[in-house]
């Protein structure tokens, strides 16, 4: 079996930065530091961080008197205010790409724009972005949902940073049809762009794709969806142990990619297991 590994597989800049900031904070505090929710969407990476003293707090959990790290996805301003009141120190690991969108939303919404976000309403990044829209905002997950938006005046459209580029383009067209003059900012980040472009190309050149990453990682799930949409079977696994080796052995060319929060050692273990198959 020939194995082709995507160059873009693994940690993106924002995740690498957040993990580095959390580790540094744990070392400085010489004890446990906390993150408001999982720092990244990968159970294996989280377990490793837990052993280094980086502990995720559940949504309902009280903030302990300790340092709290804001994760790469960012948080709404009111959550930041609450953390600042309750924690001994707030360490900001919001990805700079997400912080830029937060600032844009705040600026446009202060100028009377209604904000439309193309993304998943429940995703922490989108929840954080919504907090920056003064007059509230609307979330659409696909082009069809644009018809359900109420009448709006001036409109700003942005994308969740890990949005599927083709879905965003369809949403953008529909928003511009319905709200001519809308400001549409393509805020999908470069890391997502590279990863999705590469997986689209690879999907046409292999018998199947193995997509490695957390089952709760939106950008990893999207990579698998892109492959399936193109007619290429995609196996989404979190670890090497989950590989369906009996099925994969029947294939002659298998591609491997991974989400933005998948650690390099997990990718190596999967590739090794495939090579030994």
**DSSP string computed for 30-51:** TS-EEEES-SSS-HHHHHHHHH
Residue of 8, 9, 14, 258 interacting with ligand SF4 (CB under 6 A) = 14
Binding mask 92-121 for ligand SF4 (x = CB under 6 A): ---x-xx-----------------------
CA 147 centroid distance within chain: 26
Binding mask 246-275 for ligand SF4 (x = CB under 6 A): --------------x---------------
- Considering the complex, state which of residue 72 and residue 240 has its C-beta at the smaller distance from ligand SF4: 72
Binding window for ligand SF4 (CB under 6 A); candidates: 7-15, 44-52, 197-205, 232-240:
7-15
Q: Is 149 exposed, middle or buried (0-12, 13-18, 19+ CB in 10 A)?
A: middle
Name the one residue in this structure whose structure tokens are 């609450």: 82
- Considering the complex, state which of residue 101 and residue 274 has its C-beta at the smaller distance from ligand SF4: 101
Q: Collect all residues with Cβ–Cβ distance below 8 Å to 172 and sequence separation of at least 6.
A: 118, 157, 184, 186
Active-site entry in 47, 52, 125, 247? 125
Residue of 44, 161, 196, 220 interacting with ligand SF4 (CB under 6 A) = 161
Residues 60-89 touching ligand SF4, rule: CB under 6 A, are 72
Q: Collect all residues with Cβ–Cβ distance below 8 Å to 108 and sequence separation of at least 6.
A: 115, 156, 183
The count of C-alpha atoms lying within 13 angstroms of the C-alpha of 57, restricted to the half-sphere facing its C-beta, is: 20
Q: Which residues are near ligand SF4 by CB under 6 A?
A: 12-15, 72, 95, 97-98, 161-162, 189, 191-192, 260
Catalytic machinery residues: 125
């Amino acid at each position: 079996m020939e194995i082709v590994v995507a160059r873009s597989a693994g940690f993106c800049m924002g995740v690498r930065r957040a993990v580095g900031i959390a580790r540094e904070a744990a070392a400085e505090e010489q004890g446990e530091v906390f993150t408001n929710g999982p720092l990244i969407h990968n159970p294996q990476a989280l377990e490793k961080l837990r052993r280094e003293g980086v502990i995720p707090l559940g949504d309902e959990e009280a903030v302990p008197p300790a340092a709290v790290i804001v994760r790469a996805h960012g948080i709404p301003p009111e959550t930041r205010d609450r953390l600042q009141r309750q924690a001994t120190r707030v360490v900001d690991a919001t990805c700079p790409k997400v912080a830029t969108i937060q600032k844009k939303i705040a600026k446009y919404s202060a100028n009377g724009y209604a904000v439309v976000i193309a993304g998943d309403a429940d995703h922490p990044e989108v929840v954080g972005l919504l907090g920056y829209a003064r007059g509230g905002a609307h979330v659409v997950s696909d082009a069809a949902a644009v018809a359900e938006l109420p009448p709006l005046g001036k409109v700003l459209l942005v994308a969740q940073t890990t949005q599927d580029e083709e879905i965003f383009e369809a949403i953008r067209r529909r928003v511009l049809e319905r709200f001519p003059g809308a400001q549409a900012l393509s805020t999908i980040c470069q890391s997502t762009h590279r990863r999705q472009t590469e997986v689209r190309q690879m999907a046409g050149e292999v018998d199947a794709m193995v997509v490695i990453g957390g089952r709760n990682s939106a950008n990893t799930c999207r990579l698998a969806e892109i492959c399936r949409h193109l007619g290429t079977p995609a196996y989404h696994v979190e670890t090497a142990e989950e590989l369906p080796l009996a099925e994969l052995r029947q294939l002659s060319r298998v591609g491997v990619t991974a989400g933005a929060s998948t650690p390099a050692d997990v990718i190596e273990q999967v590739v090794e297991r495939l090579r030994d198959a």
